[in-house]
Structure 1
């Protein structure tokens, strides 16, 4: 299997956390994984883009037109990173309001900021919520929910219960929306 993911967000949203969770999930499933991040001005709220390559790859960067999936923790970051998606198989899962511009890719959006502001889940778990949305929407995603749960637990057992609850909320909210 070969699968390439771009995770895009703003500093502090937890994009790098998702890279680590996916790397652990790869180890759990005995798959090769390369991950890298481009922080930029992330500590000041600037753009963060991360690449995760699962399978037999030798360099961590994703070339334009090659990614299978773009997980955008913020809508503008989806647009900033859209060039990495494959025209044939690229899927976008993003945190954005319904009035987001149309793009030429299979696109799934949910207004996770609105849900967090309504106290439906803690804002610091927005990244895990969007991972749950991805699990519910992307049939080609290389990991099961159980594997992601195990990776979250291995990543930080102290907050694993909270994060797994938010992961399932993302899954359930998405399935209810369908």
Structure 2
């Protein structure tokens, strides 16, 4: 299997954390994985784009028109990174209101910012919320919930319970929205 994921956000939203979680999940699933962690402007609140490639790849960068999935932690960053998706075949999971513009891809959106502002979950778990939303909405997502839970636990055992609760909250919210 070959599968390519772009994770986009702005500094401080946890895109790099998601790369690490998905890399650990790939290891647990016995899949080959390459990932990048773009730190550039991440420490100053700037754009962050990270890549995860599963399968027989030799370079971690994703070329234009090659990604299967875009997980966007912020709506503007989704639009900025659409060019990475396979034409008419990519999937977008985006933290956005219902006013997100129509694009030539399958789009699933949730307003995670509003949920966090309303204290549905801690804002520092927005990235994990979006990962749970991805698990629920993208039928081609290459990981199981159990693999993601195990990866979250390996990544940070101290915060695992909180993050796994947020993951499941997102899955339940996504299913209720269906």
Q: Could you tell me how far 1:175 is from its partner in structure 2?
A: 0.2
Please list, as runs of the form range in 1=range in 2, the aligned pairs for 1:19-58 lying within 5 A after superposition: 19-58=19-58
Could you tell me whether the CA contact under 8 Å between 2:16 and 2:38 is conserved in 1?
A: no
CA distance in 2, matches of 1:100, 1:106: 12
Please list, as runs of the form range in 1=range in 2, the aligned pairs for 1:61-100 lying within 5 A after superposition: 61-100=61-100
Could you tell me whether the CA contact under 8 Å between 1:6 and 1:50 is conserved in 2?
A: yes
SS at match of 1:13: coil
Q: Could you tell me how far 1:39 is from its partner in structure 2?
A: 2.8
CA distance in 2, matches of 1:173, 1:33: 29
Count of aligned positions: 178
Please list, as runs of the form range in 1=range in 2, the aligned pairs for 1:125-136 lying within 5 A after superposition: 125-136=125-136
SS at match of 1:86: coil
Could you tell me whether the CA contact under 8 Å between 1:39 and 1:47 is conserved in 2?
A: no
Could you tell me whether the CA contact under 8 Å between 1:22 and 1:148 is conserved in 2?
A: yes
CA distance in 2, matches of 1:159, 1:41: 26
- Are residue 12 (structure 1) and residue 12 (structure 2) matched? yes
Q: Could you tell me how far 1:40 is from its partner in structure 2?
A: 2.8
Q: TM-score under structure 1 normalisation?
A: 0.98
* Cα deviation code 1:69-93 (max 9, x no counterpart): 0000000000110000001420000
Partner residue of 2:141? 141
**Structure 1 residue ranges, 4+ long, deviating more than 6 angstroms after superposition:** none
Long gaps (5+) in structure 2: none
Q: TM-score under structure 2 normalisation?
A: 0.98
Q: Could you tell me how far 1:42 is from its partner in structure 2?
A: 1.5
Q: Could you tell me how far 1:37 is from its partner in structure 2?
A: 2.6
